[in-house]
């Protein structure tokens, strides 16, 4: 039951039910600000950049883990290392968050190493595994806390996110399918502000009812002979609603009126990294923001029906 949601440059996911959000946010913002899209990089290793990334990255990772250990886990009883089965929590929304977080940190880790001039293969394996390594360390902290435990479900989601990045980079030399995140406010947080957030930012980061995780596929990459614009994507999303508690029945309502249900979405999207620009600053910004689903008309499939949203985020 560790990290659950990270949102790139804009607000970055705060999964782990609010425990990891702030530290993972720092890590993502730092890495994203220095990473660049692969097509803007040379092939010569820049030792000054590599040294800065190694020292800075190591310091950020170590510092956030130490801060997390002291600021959060110190408030709870320690225990011997143990596992914990949280596979039924939040209708697996937190697992979608792990998948997204692991992929996104790995993608930015790859971008950071390519920026330093490290060769593509090393950048793919080492940088692409950064998310998995970081989230594994957090999971170990969970495993030594009596309140939680090491979750194999979380680890599976972490591994899947990392595998998606590395697999595409090795097979296609590009990312044709990109996990993305979006969120909106819901009334459920008002019922459990202690768990789902009080302020607007907390609600965006903690309220799984308003979060959506997407797989955004680039159409032109799969149909190179077509005349489709290279920046046009088609995204499928997953969300859930009606949850004011982590486990079944997922609601604190006495009459069970806040019925929890899954939601599936279909929507157009933009591949921000495929928008042509000569500006390195803009290219880097688009690379960082490419983990956010662009608001667009959307079809929602839930509770046996279909509904349309003119603009969904």
Please state, as a whole number, how many other Cβ atoms lie within 10 Å of the Cβ of residue 119: 11
pLDDT for the residue numbered 255: 64
- Checking phi first, is residue 117 left (phi over 0); if not, alpha (psi -120 to 50) or beta? left
DSSP state of 12: -
pLDDT for the residue numbered 252: 67
pLDDT for the residue numbered 75: 67
Structure-derived torsion over alpha carbons of residues 213, 151, 86, 1, reported in degrees to the nearest 10: -60
pLDDT > 60? residue 159:
yes
pLDDT > 70? residue 29:
no
DSSP secondary structure string for all residues of 17-57: GGTSHHHHHHHHHHHHHH---GGG--SS--HHHHHHHHHHH
pLDDT for the residue numbered 16: 43
Task: Record the pTM.
Answer: 0.86
Question: What confidence tens digit (pLDDT) does each residue in 113-132 have?
Answer: 999 999 999 999 999 999 99
**Predicted confidence band at 202 (pLDDT cuts at 50, 70, 90)?**
confident
Of 175, 152, 13, nearest to 85 by C-alpha is 152
Question: What confidence tens digit (pLDDT) does each residue in 223-257 have?
Answer: 999 899 999 999 999 999 999 999 888 886 666 56
The answer to whether the beta carbons of residues 181 and 213 sit under 8 Å apart is yes
pLDDT for the residue numbered 14: 37
Report the alpha-carbon distance of residue 160 to residue 163 in Å, rounded.
5
Tokens in use for 257?
Answer: 């009126």
pLDDT > 50? residue 3:
no
pLDDT > 80? residue 104:
yes
The domain limits of the chain are 16-312
Of 214, 180, 183, nearest to 200 by C-alpha is 183
If one compares 100 and 46, the residue with the highest pLDDT of the two is 100
pLDDT for the residue numbered 185: 95
pLDDT for the residue numbered 44: 82
**Predicted confidence band at 180 (pLDDT cuts at 50, 70, 90)?**
very high
pLDDT > 70? residue 48:
yes
Of 240, 300, 225, nearest to 267 by C-alpha is 300
pLDDT > 70? residue 211:
yes
Question: What confidence tens digit (pLDDT) does each residue in 49-88 have?
Answer: 888 888 887 888 788 777 767 766 666 788 889 999 999 9
**Predicted confidence band at 46 (pLDDT cuts at 50, 70, 90)?**
confident
Question: What confidence tens digit (pLDDT) does each residue in 251-279 have?
Answer: 866 665 668 999 999 999 999 999 999 99
pLDDT for the residue numbered 25: 46
In a 10 Å sphere around its CB, with 0-12 CB exposed, 13-18 middle and 19+ buried, how is residue 276 labelled?
exposed
Report the alpha-carbon distance of residue 287 to residue 115 in Å, rounded.
13
pLDDT for the residue numbered 72: 63
Half-sphere exposure of 137 (CA within 13 A, CB side): 17
């Amino acid at each position: 039951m560790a990290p659950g949601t990270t949102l790139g440059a804009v607000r970055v996911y705060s999964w782990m039910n609010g425990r990891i959000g702030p530290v993972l946010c720092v890590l993502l913002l730092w890495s994203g600000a220095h990473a660049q899209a692969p097509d803007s990089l040379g092939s010569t290793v820049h030792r000054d950049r590599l040294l800065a990334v190694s020292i800075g990255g190591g310091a950020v990772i170590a510092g956030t883990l130490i801060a997390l250990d002291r600021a959060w886990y110190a408030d709870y009883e320690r225990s011997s290392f143990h596992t914990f089965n949280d596979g039924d929590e939040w209708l697996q929304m937190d697992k979608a968050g792990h998948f997204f977080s692991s992929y996104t940190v790995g993608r930015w880790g790859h971008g950071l190493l390519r920026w330093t001039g490290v060769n593509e293969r090393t950048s793919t394996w080492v940088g692409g595994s950064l998310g998995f390594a970081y989230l594994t360390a957090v999971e170990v902290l969970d495993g030594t806390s009596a309140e939680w435990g090491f979750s194999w479900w979380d680890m599976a989601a972490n591994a899947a996110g990392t595998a998606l990045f590395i697999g595409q980079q090795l097979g296609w030399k590009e990312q044709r399918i990109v996990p993305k995140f979006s969120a909106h406010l819901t009334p459920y947080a008002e019922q459990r502000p202690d768990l789902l957030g009080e302020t607007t930012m907390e609600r965006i980061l903690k309220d799984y009812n308003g979060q959506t995780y997407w797989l955004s596929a680039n159409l032109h990459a799969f149909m190179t002979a077509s005349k489709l614009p290279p920046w046009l994507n088609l995204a499928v999303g997953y969300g859930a609603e009606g949850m004011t508690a982590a486990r079944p029945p997922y609601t604190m309502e006495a009459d069970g009126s806040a019925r929890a249900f899954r939601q599936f979405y279909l929507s157009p999207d933009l591949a921000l990294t495929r928008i042509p620009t000569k500006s390195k600053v803009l290219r880097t910004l688009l690379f960082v923001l490419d983990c956010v689903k662009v608001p667009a008309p959307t079809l929602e499939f839930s509770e046996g029906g279909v509904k349309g949203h003119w603009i969904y985020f």
